[in-house]
């Protein structure tokens, strides 16, 4: 079958991938759309660093670490929607033709595997893949498959907002309006937060922030957002060195800082700044299955409008170019890979 794989730092089109075969408890699906995630871009460029940092980590739950060989082709794509084609042996599943999505986790007799970076398990940058029957969510309300593919990134934003415990009357400042920042803004709006301020250097991204629910935007080139905002909760969705320390230095006393941007490099912070103001820093990652299901429901019910986020759609043979284009923040938010294009 056809697909796009990571080879030596570049996404490469292949039309000779073996056909995936569902095992017991699994289904074979026909992929309709798969979003390109910033973490895929990062992994393509800095896979070595990701694996080195992951290897240093202790205290993780079993199976959460990443184990992949960069010398071989790597399959990626974890933001997908798909139609059921067939079920594995003895497997109960929705009927063929049902549009579904799923948390990117594959259950098999071998155990639990994240569908994120793998040399053996296909992700969403392909025609077909295997999913776990118990984890499938049927897409309701006739929701467009392209919109259903945004369940995953919107769940990331929802989880960050849930972890912040923000109340409607508290002011939120979202720093960085890439896909994660946009998902956070949409979740804040769905929660009814009355003052959402969004900060980004890109005019296009600030526009998008307003489209999904920000009440006001700030261009940090004109001065720190803290000059005009006194937030109770700050969401860091940039993931670049220096942002956390700047928040510690400028934010009001007792600010809750939610770090959702994934900075892989060592980052210099002044603990003294955090201490003097008793800042709380909540690092966040992913979502739980209930949040994933809520994310799908809120998109399907129109509480969250993901349409403005989709700034590009490409076929499997153009994934490499899409990865390149996504490095320009003024041009794109989310590009969907659609095997039928």
The site for a copy of itself (CB under 8 A) is made up of 53-54, 56-61, 64, 163, 226, 230, 239, 244-245, 249-253, 255, 259-285
Among 315, 313, 2, residue whose Cα is nearest residue 128? 2
Which residue, 64 or 307, has its beta carbon nearer to a copy of itself?
64
Q: Compute the least distance from the CB of residue 170 to a copy of itself, in Å.
A: 16
CB of 220 to a copy of itself, least distance (A): 15
Give the nearest distance from C-beta 96 to a copy of itself in angstroms: 38
> Rg of the Cα trace of the chain?
20
Nearer to a copy of itself, 17 or 263 (CB): 263
Asked if 257 contacts 284 with a C-beta cutoff of 8 angstroms, the reply is no
- The residue with tokens 């949040």 is 291
Nearer to a copy of itself, 245 or 313 (CB): 245
- Nearest-approach distance from CB 307 to a copy of itself, in angstroms: 29
In the complex, the smallest distance separating the C-beta of residue 223 from a copy of itself, rounded to whole angstroms, is 12
Least distance CB 47 / a copy of itself (angstroms)? 14
Cβ proximity to a copy of itself, 241 vs 312, nearer residue: 241
d(CA 337, CA 339): 7
- Smallest separation (angstroms) from a copy of itself to the CB of 295: 18
Residues 235/175, Cβ–Cβ less than 8 Å: yes
Beta carbon nearer to a copy of itself, 74 or 114: 114
Evaluate whether 7 touches 92 at the Cβ level (below 8 Å).
no
Alpha-carbon distance values, 38 to 22, 106, 200 (Å)? 29, 21, 16
Tokens 């250097």 identify what position?
Answer: 201
How far is 222 from 233, CA to CA, in rounded Å? 21
Q: How far is the CB of 232 from a copy of itself (least distance, A)?
A: 12
Give the residue with the Cβ less far from a copy of itself, 142 or 266.
266
Backbone angles phi, psi at 17, to 5 degrees: -70, 140
**Closest residue by Cα to residue 193 from 225, 223, 228, 158:** 158
Decide whether 56 or 109 has the Cβ nearer to a copy of itself: 56
Nearer CB in complex with a copy of itself: 66/70: 66
In Å, what is the CA distance from 334 to each residue of 205, 218, 300, 316?
Answer: 11, 22, 18, 15
Q: Which residue has the tokens 């025609």?
A: 127
As a whole number of angstroms, the longest Cα–Cα distance in the chain is: 62
Shortest distance, CB of residue 153 to a copy of itself, whole angstroms?
16
Compare residues 19 and 58 and give the one whose CB is closer to a copy of itself: 58
b/e for 145-181, b at 16 or more Cβ within 10 A? bbbbbbbbbbbbbbbbbbbbebeeebbbbbbbbbbbb
């Amino acid at each position: 079958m056809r697909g796009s794989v990571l080879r030596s730092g570049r996404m490469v089109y292949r039309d000779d991938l073996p056909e995936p075969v569902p095992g017991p408890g699994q289904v074979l699906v026909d992929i309709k759309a798969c979003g390109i995630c910033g973490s895929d871009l990062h992994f393509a460029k800095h896979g070595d660093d990701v694996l080195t940092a992951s290897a240093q980590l202790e205290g993780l739950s079993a199976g959460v670490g990443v184990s992949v060989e960069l010398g071989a082709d790597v399959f990626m794509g974890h933001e997908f929607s798909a139609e059921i084609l067939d079920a594995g042996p003895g497997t109960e599943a929705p009927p063929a033709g049902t549009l579904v999505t799923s948390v990117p986790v594959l259950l098999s007799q071998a155990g639990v595997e994240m569908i994120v970076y793998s040399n053996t398990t296909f992700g969403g940058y392909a025609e077909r893949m295997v999913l776990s029957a118990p984890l499938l969510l049927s897409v309701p309300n006739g929701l467009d498959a392209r919109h259903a593919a945004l369940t995953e990134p919107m769940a990331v934003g929802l989880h960050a907002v849930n972890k912040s415990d923000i109340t409607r009357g508290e002011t939120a400042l979202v720093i960085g309006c890439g896909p994660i920042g946009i998902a956070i803004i949409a979740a804040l709006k769905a929660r009814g937060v009355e003052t959402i301020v969004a900060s980004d250097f890109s005019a296009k991204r600030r526009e998008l922030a307003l489209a999904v629910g920000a009440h006001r935007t700030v261009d940090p080139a004109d001065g720190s957002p803290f000059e005009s905002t006194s937030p109770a909760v700050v969401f860091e969705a940039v993931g670049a060195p220096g942002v956390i320390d700047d928040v510690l230095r400028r934010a009001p006393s007792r600010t809750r800082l939610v770090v959702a941007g994934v900075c892989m490099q060592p980052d210099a912070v002044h603990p003294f700044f955090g201490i003097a103001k008793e800042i709380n820093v909540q690092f966040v990652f992913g979502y739980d299955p209930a949040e994933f299901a809520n994310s799908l429901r809120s998109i399907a019910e129109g509480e969250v409008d993901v349409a403005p986020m989709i700034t590009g759609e490409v076929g499997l043979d153009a994934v490499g170019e899409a990865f390149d284009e996504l490095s320009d923040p003024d041009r794109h938010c989310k590009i969907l890979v659609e095997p039928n294009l």
